[in-house]
Amino acid sequence: MRFLDSGQIRSATVWDELIDAIAEIIADDAVVAPDRQVLSMGRPGEEPASLLLMPGWINREIVGVKAATFFPSNAGTSSSTIHAIYLCFDGQNGKLKAVLDGDELTARRTAAVSALAARTLARPDAARLLVVGTGQLAPNMARAHSKVRRFEAIQIWGRNPAAAREVAELLAAEGLPATATSDLDESIGRADIISCATSATSPLVFGERLAPGTHLDLVGSFRPDMREVDDAAITQAALFVDTVPGAVQSGDLAQPLADGAISEESIIADLRSLVTDRHPGRRIPEEVTVFKSAGFALADLAAARLALRQVDHHPFE
């Protein structure tokens, strides 16, 4: 058995290759991924925590499962809100073959999924990216989106201005045109792509502020009580999701669904339909598009498989 740490995973999952690996595995009919389980853990006097279990496998090749915890009370502390581990088993005999740093794997595959969706949903001439949030996902959202669009400006907004500056400075040091912004509403109106990666439980982005042609990427919410945008942002947009079962559990969709503002028929297509060209994605330049990603096991499996192949220089066996 071997262990891949965060540095090995970063080196082995180059953005372009990771985006393509996720697209490949989504389109593969031989890959199996049962529905994700989200188990609530009550914590008297604090927001409930969650335990997530996300299995997937390719028969006779690889079996993988991610176990992750979400502790919202960690926000603003030195500890991340999400911690995870990924286990890989041999698909022939079930033997444990590898353990991977799940935090790094999650942060990279989440950003890669958003970039994959943006290939067809964002305008080809999108030049301004706004990242809402300053957690572990924020830098990767900017890095991954920068692989599918050429940005003239990348703005970072967070409730903590110092944290936003820190993320922007990190990205600028890597050569990306990143700066921090303190005016969220003004930045929303100027952005071509808005990527939200927060643990918010009330809307931060409001539909009335979105400019025509905006692509809105939502990755933070995965529970019914979590929400990053209001109803207007959802109802005015062409709505796409990573997977329907996972996305409708997130507050960004669960709440307008419960209120009757939208129905499941409002969802135009999932990511599989986009990568297999069953749906073309964006239809007109002025269209507002929303991609709601709640996380799905195939993306983890694709990232783990790629990392192991790159580290070993041969397929997982």
Structural domain range at position 38: 2-105+298-312
167 and 240 part of one domain: yes
Counted domains in the chain: 2
CATH number at residue 221: 3.40.50.720
Is residue 60 one of the residues assigned to a domain?
A: yes
Closest CA to 139 of 166, 121, 102, 159: 166
147 and 177 part of one domain: yes
pLDDT tens sequence across 136-169: 899 999 999 999 999 999 999 999 999 999 999 9
Is residue 111 one of the residues assigned to a domain?
A: no
How far apart, in whole angstroms, are the C-alpha atoms of residue 176 and residue 142? Answer: 9
CATH number at residue 69: 3.30.1780.10
Tokens 């992750």 belong to which residue? 68
State the chain's mean pLDDT as an integer: 94
Residue 317 has pLDDT above 80, yes or no: no
217 and 290 part of one domain: yes
pLDDT tens sequence across 203-262: 999 999 999 999 999 999 988 999 999 999 999 999 999 999 999 999 999 999 999 999
100 and 241 part of one domain: no
52 and 161 part of one domain: no
43 and 188 part of one domain: no
The DSSP annotation for 64-88 comes to: EEEEEEE-GGGTTSSS-SEEEEEEE
51 and 95 part of one domain: yes
222 and 99 part of one domain: no
Is residue 63 one of the residues assigned to a domain?
A: yes
Find the mean pLDDT for residues 43-72.
90
Of the chain, the percentage scoring pLDDT greater than 90 comes to 84
CB–CB of 298/33 below 8 Å? yes
Please tell me the pTM assigned to this model: 0.92
CB–CB of 246/272 below 8 Å? no
55 and 135 part of one domain: no
Closest CA to 206 of 181, 185, 182: 185
* Of the candidate ranges 50-54, 118-122, 166-170, the one whose mean pLDDT is the lowest: 50-54
Is residue 84 one of the residues assigned to a domain?
A: yes
pLDDT tier at 95, thresholds 50, 70, 90: very high
154 and 205 part of one domain: yes
pLDDT tens sequence across 166-195: 999 999 999 999 999 999 999 999 999 999
How many alpha carbons lie under 13 Å from residue 100 in its C-beta half-sphere? Answer: 32
275 and 305 part of one domain: no
Closest CA to 140 of 3, 228, 31, 10: 10
Is residue 112 one of the residues assigned to a domain?
A: no
* Of the candidate ranges 21-25, 76-80, 86-90, the one whose mean pLDDT is the lowest: 76-80
